[in-house]
Every structure is written in structure tokens, then in C-alpha cells.
């Protein structure tokens, strides 16, 4: 790789003088798309095996610019009967092909404006461009395979797309306006070399993500086996688990304080076992409650209003000293009886959610309030403290392994972004093979 010397103007920056700057419509042709909603999709294959790529998939599902359908398994399918497969034989509605772009024409924020993916390995299936998307096609004589999505990833192109985006709560770019956007194109051999470099980065990212998925599945299996006693750790094979109430392991703790007169950090609980979060309260005087309750790390905390949705967690170190309302009863673990790290995993089990629902009578939403007296009496089949500790260590080791891999994947993504910044702007030129 080498630095660029001869340059020319492109929007508010400079690009290599031998790059071209055609308008999008000079290079790409728009194709017809279907506008089917999420309700009309299924994750299971239909009889005709037609896959639909929705704008939400581009924003949330696919992290790489190249959508390799040999790898990705999360593209939803159209429900039977919504589309006639014979329509793909009509020239007015061509099936999407290798190298076609699917571009999101709507986004809830500026960062997602015209997000796009380039299709790869779609020869064994039929793909349609779905709700709030554009499909675009070009030829290998104009843009190399593997480089096409990067035409919209130049930093100045992104700025231009955000500038012309319209809307309030949702931002979009019309085909007419997208057609006029200029894109910087290196010579074809350089496009291919850049595509190869970025493809190598994608392979490293995907390999790591695949390993993460395997480790996550392994952890789920370990939790299912270890937290139910189906699998026993060495040294505990002959000890029996007992059905016991939670009050044998935890006890209520009340750390009551007056309502603060200055801004404070409050603690909240996400449903579905997704843990705690902190929220800044800048106007404590507007709070109608007179008293609050302090939480400490390794407390067990429950939201009585949404316990039925499994709003239960172990308090994190970063939550130390946060304030909770009376709707968040807090418990500490009895020494040598209940291990916080074991219960961190145990409270996520389906049976815990079922039992919380059982003690949260009433209608839907806020009418379903958990009984605190019933909660402490809930009975579960549980091991003794030493086995709790051993199980927690195994599951924590699995968590650490996953965290390290996620950090590696994030580092690889950052490295790829760095490559994109210099290669797609022409600041650094790749060697042409």
C-alpha cells in the first residue's frame, strides 16, 4: 500500500486524480421491489423458497456490507401465496442476482440512511427486495463484484446522503435524489484489490462471530444441564439437591433514605432477564415519593410491577449506591447459603419466570403486581452452597470466554473501519496484482 499523491476535488475533500465520479444512476439501474410488511413474513422456508430482505434486516441483522447467503441464515421468507414465482420469469420483475444491491430507503436515524448490502451466493435461492428498500444492479464492466456496496460508504457520500434525507421521525432518500449522488470509483483493478482486502477482514470477523455463536449455544446447554441438576460436577455426584424456599437463601434488606434534594442516579430493571440499568434524575423535586432505597452490588432486586415479565436481576458493581423506589424490593444473600453468582444465572431460568407469573395475579401490564410475601416463599430444587459456587465458576468461565471473543470481534470490526476510511477515500492505494 502507498499514499496518494495526485488528487482532485470530490465534494468537500480530495480523491485520487485517476478515480471517476459518476452519478449513481450512471452506474446503477433500479429494479422493481416488493413492499411486504413483517406480518407477511416467516423465518421458515416457503414451498417456493423465496427470501425477502426487509429494510430492518439491513439496519439490525447484517453487520457486514456483503450479504453472503451461504453464511447468513436469518433472512425471512415470504409467506405462501403472496407472490407468484412465475413473476420472476417476467423481465419487468427480474429475480435479484449476484452482486445486486439492496438499499434501505428509510431509517429512524441519520446513521442508517441508505444502508445497503451486496448479495453474494444467491444462486440456489430466489431473493426479493422488500419493504422500504431499493434494489439496484450494475455490470462488472462498471463496478467489480464485492466492491459495489462500498460505493456508498465513502465518508463524503454518506454526508451527502444525510444532507438530502427528508423526514422527521423517519428519514428517507428518494430514488430521484439518490440517482444524482456522485460516487467515487477507483479503476476496476483497484476496486478488485480493495474488495479482496475488505473481504479478508470480513472472513476474520465472521469466523469470530461463528465461534461466539457456538460458545453461546454451549453456555445455554451448560445452564440447562447444570442449573437443573441433570449434569453434576465432579465431587458433587453423591450430594442431593433439595426443594427449598428462597427464604433459605436470601433475606429482605431495607436501606431507606429520604428523597434527595439534588440530582441522583436511579436504578431500573429490564424485563426478560436483561438486567439493570441506571437513569439520571435531574429534577428530584418533581418525584412524589418521600423515601427511596439504596442498592448495593450483589443484591437481588425485583420489579414487583413487571416480575411476571422476569424483571429480576443481581445488582452490578456499577449500580452501587443507586436509588430504587418501593416497587423494587431488595434482598441480600445469606452467608454460606445463597451464592449471588449462582443465582445470577438461576433467576434467568424458565421456571423462575413461570413462578413469578404465578405470584403476580391480575390483568395485563401494571395491574399484575407480584406479592413480596409470596416471592420469598417460592420453592425451587437447589444445590448446597459449595455446589452453587462450583456451578457459578463454570458458567462465569463460559461468560468470560464469550466476552473475550466479542471484544476480539469488535476490534476486528474497528480495524475494518480503519481500512475502509483510507482505502475508500484513496488516501492509501493498494497494490494492483
Contact 202, 415 (CB under 8 A): no
Q: What is the pLDDT of residues 348-379, one digit of tens each?
A: 999 999 999 999 987 665 578 999 999 999 99
Confidence of residue 59 (pLDDT cuts 50, 70, 90): low
- Quickly list H helices, 81-187: 155-164, 175-179
> Can you tell me whether residue 74 is helix, strand or coil?
coil
**What is the homologous superfamily of the domain 20-185 according to CATH?**
DNA methylase specificity domains (3.90.220.20)
Neighbouring residues of 59: CB distance < 8 A, sequence distance ≥ 6: 104, 107, 112, 115
Between 370 and 109, where is the model more confident? 370
The pLDDT of residue 37 is 58
Q: Is residue 145 packed enough to be buried (19+ CB in 10 Å), middle (13-18) or exposed (0-12)?
A: middle
Give the SS3 label for residue 222: helix
Residue 317 has a CB neighbour count (10 Å cut-off) of 8
Band of residue 184 on the pLDDT scale cut at 50, 70, 90 = very high
Say how far apart CA 401 and CA 389 lie, in whole Å. Answer: 18
Q: What 3-state class would DSSP assign to 58?
A: helix
Can you give the pLDDT at residue 310? 94
> What are phi and psi for residue 33, nearest 5 degrees?
-125, 160
Task: Name which of 125-139, 373-387, 400-414 the model is least confident about.
Answer: 125-139
| Ranges of CATH 1.10.287.1120 domains, the chain | 188-231+386-428
Nearest Cα neighbor of 182 from 25, 49, 58, 352 is 25
CATH number given to 242-382: 3.90.220.20
Confidence of residue 416 (pLDDT cuts 50, 70, 90): very high
**pLDDT reported for residue 233:** 95
What stretch(es) of the chain map to CATH 3.90.220.20?
A: 20-185, 242-382
Q: What percent of the chain has pLDDT over 90?
A: 64
Closest CA to 24 of 166, 157, 187: 157
Check residue 53 and give its pLDDT. Answer: 76
* C-alpha cell recorded at residue 11: 465534494
**Predicted local confidence at residue 143, as pLDDT:** 95
Q: Which pLDDT belongs to residue 131?
A: 75
Mean pLDDT over each residue of the chain, to the nearest integer: 87
pLDDT band at 415 (very low <50, low <70, confident <90, very high): very high
Phi (first) and psi of residue 381, to 5 degrees: -80, 110
pLDDT > 60? residue 91 = no
pLDDT tens digits for range 265-298:
999 999 999 999 999 988 888 777 889 999 999 9
Fold of 188-231+386-428: Helix Hairpins (1.10.287)
Task: Indicate the pairing of strand 291-294 with strand 323-324.
Answer: antiparallel
Question: What is the predicted pLDDT for the residue at 388?
Answer: 98
Given a cut of 60, whether residue 43 has pLDDT beyond it is: no
Give yes or no for a contact between 299 and 342, defined as CB atoms under 8 angstroms apart.
no
pTM above 0.95, yes or no: no
| CA angle 9–11–12, rounded 5-degree value | 85
Q: Which pLDDT band holds residue 130 (cuts at 50, 70, 90)? A: confident
* Stretch among 81-85, 102-106, 174-178, 240-244 having the lowest mean pLDDT: 81-85
Max Cα–Cα distance, the chain, nearest Å: 77
Amino acid at each position: 500500500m502507498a499514499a496518494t499523491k495526485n488528487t482532485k476535488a470530490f465534494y468537500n475533500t480530495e480523491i485520487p486524480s485517476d478515480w471517476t465520479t459518476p452519478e449513481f444512476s450512471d452506474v446503477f439501474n433500479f429494479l422493481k421491489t416488493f413492499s411486504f410488511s413483517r406480518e407477511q413474513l416467516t423465518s421458515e422456508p416457503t414451498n417456493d423458497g423465496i427470501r425477502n430482505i426487509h429494510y430492518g434486516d439491513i439496519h439490525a441483522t447484517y453487520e457486514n456490507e456483503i450479504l453472503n447467503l451461504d453464511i447468513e441464515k436469518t433472512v425471512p421468507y415470504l409467506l405462501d401465496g403472496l407472490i407468484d414465482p412465475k413473476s420472476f420469469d417476467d423481465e419487468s420483475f427480474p429475480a435479484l442476482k449476484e452482486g445486486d444491491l439492496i438499499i434501505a430507503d428509510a431509517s429512524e436515524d441519520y446513521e442508517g440512511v441508505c444502508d445497503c448490502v451486496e448479495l453474494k451466493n444467491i444462486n440456489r435461492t430466489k431473493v426479493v427486495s422488500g419493504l422500504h428498500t431499493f434494489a439496484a444492479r450494475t455490470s462488472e464492466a462498471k463496478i467489480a463484484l464485492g466492491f459495489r456496496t462500498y460505493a456508498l460508504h465513502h465518508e463524503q457520500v454518506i454526508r451527502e446522503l444525510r444532507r438530502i434525507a427528508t423526514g422527521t421521525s423517519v428519514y428517507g432518500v428518494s430514488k430521484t435524489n439518490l440517482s444524482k449522488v456522485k460516487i467515487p470509483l477507483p479503476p476496476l483493478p483497484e476496486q478488485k484489490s480493495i474488495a479482496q482486502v475488505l473481504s479478508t477482514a470480513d472472513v476474520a470477523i465472521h469466523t469470530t462471530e461463528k465461534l461466539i455463536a457456538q460458545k453461546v449455544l454451549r453456555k445455554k446447554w451448560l445452564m440447562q444441564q447444570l442449573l437443573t441438576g441433570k449434569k453434576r460436577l465432579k465431587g458433587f455426584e453423591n450430594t442431593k439437591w433439595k426443594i427449598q424456599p428462597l427464604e433459605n437463601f436470601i433475606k429482605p434488606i431495607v436501606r431507606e433514605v429520604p428523597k434527595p434534594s439534588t440530582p441522583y442516579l436511579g436504578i431500573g430493571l429490564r424485563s426478560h432477564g436483561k438486567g439493570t440499568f441506571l437513569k439520571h434524575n435531574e429534577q428530584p423535586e418533581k418525584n412524589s415519593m418521600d423515601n427511596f432505597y439504596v442498592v448495593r452490588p450483589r443484591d437481588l432486586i425485583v420489579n414487583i410491577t413487571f416480575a411476571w415479565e422476569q424483571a429480576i436481576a443481581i445488582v452490578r458493581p456499577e449500580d452501587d449506591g443507586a436509588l430504587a423506589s418501593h416497587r423494587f424490593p431488595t434482598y441480600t444473600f445469606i452467608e454460606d447459603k445463597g451464592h449471588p453468582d449462582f443465582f445470577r444465572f438461576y433467576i434467568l431460568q424458565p421456571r423462575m419466570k413461570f413462578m413469578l407469573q404465578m405470584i403476580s395475579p391480575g390483568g395485563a401490564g401494571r395491574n399484575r403486581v407480584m406479592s413480596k410475601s409470596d416471592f420469598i416463599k417460592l420453592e425451587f430444587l437447589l444445590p448446597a452452597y459449595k455446589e452453587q459456587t462450583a456451578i457459578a465458576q463454570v458458567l462465569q468461565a463460559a461468560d468470560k470466554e464469550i466476552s473475550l471473543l466479542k471484544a476480539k470481534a469488535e476490534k476486528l470490526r474497528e480495524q475494518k473501519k480503519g481500512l475502509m476510511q483510507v482505502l475508500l477515500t484513496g488516501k492509501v492505494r493498494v497494490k494492483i496484482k
